[in-house]
Structures are given as C-alpha cells and as structure tokens.
Amino acid sequence: MENQPGLGELLRYVTDLVDSGAEKIYRDMAFTYRPRYTPILRAMVAGAETVTDITARTWLTQGAISQSVSMMEKEDILQKHAQEDGRKSRLQLTSKGQQLVAELQPHWQTIFVAINQLENETGYPLLTVLQETAKALEKQGFDERLRLAKQEQHHDE
C-alpha cells in the first residue's frame, strides 16, 4: 500500500501552516497574541457572553474554549463575572481586550480575503467543505464510519 497521508495528518499540517502564518503576521503587527483566541473574540463581538454561548457560535469544544478563556484571563484580555444563578460566568472584555479587538477587526477581514484567494487558487470552497465535513461527522462519528468500513471489508472478502 502506498504511503498516503491520512486525513488527521493533513488537517494538522494545514492547521499548522495556517496558524504559523497567522502568528508571523501578528508578530509583524507587534501583537503578543495567539490565533486560538480569534474565534472566542469574534464570538464575543457577535454577542456571546458565556462559554456556552461561544460554544454555540463556534466549531470549538467547550473544553478548548474554557482553556483559552483561562489563558485570556491571565493575559488581561477578558474577565469572568459570576452570573446571578452562580452556575455560569459572564465573560467581558477588559479595556486591553477591547483595544485588541479594535486593532484586530481589520486584520480579520484580511484573513477572509486571504481564505477566498486560497479557495480560488485550489478550486475548492475550503470553509464550506470543512463545515459540511464537520456536520457529517456530528451526524455519524468517524468511529461508526470505521466500524461500517470494516464490516464492508469483511463482507467483500
């Protein structure tokens, strides 16, 4: 069997290329900033106030969001405030976080221009393909797909 890259391998590699490119630009902009914060900040700009809200507005897990929120708190980008029922915390940008968002928003627009150019170059609507892939895997997990593929292989033998 030819040594072809696996799906996870390619996804990680593309993610590494995108993240490292974004990090270089953030450094050029003199930002101490982690690209992993972007979906959280964009969700908050769109009105998300809790980790649950952010989870509903992004393609991130609650655990990944909570981990990033903790890091963002330490970097004084956002603060947590207990809500009345005490079960959830409301997230709020600090003044540093608000300034950061104001400086980043034009850059985020540029990112989508670059994504559009990449999609045109490859001939594939990458964001759409990835969104549809995520939805399909939510409906039927990869573990189930592997079990079915294994059954088909044994059936064909």
Instruction: Name the amino acid, one letter, at 37.
Output: Y
Cα separation, 109 vs 111, in Å, equals: 5
| Residue given tokens 């005490």 in the structure block | 86
Check: CB of residue 79 under 8 Å from CB of residue 94.
yes
Q: What is the pLDDT of residue 88?
A: 80
Give first-to-last CA distance, the chain, whole Å: 17
Which sequence spans correspond to the domains of the chain?
Answer: 7-123, 125-157
- CA–CA distance, 47 with 39 (Å, rounded to integer): 12
Q: What is d(CA 147, CA 47) in angstroms, rounded to the nearest whole number?
A: 40
Percent of the chain exceeding pLDDT 70 equals 98
Fold of the 7-123 domain: Arc Repressor Mutant, subunit A (1.10.10)
Write the DSSP symbol of residue 33: -
Tokens encoding 39? 């979906």
pLDDT in tens, 99-150: 999 999 999 999 999 999 999 999 999 999 999 999 999 999 999 999 999 9
Q: What DSSP state is assigned to residue 84?
A: T
By three-state DSSP, how is residue 43 classified? helix
Question: Rounded mean pLDDT of 69-74?
Answer: 97
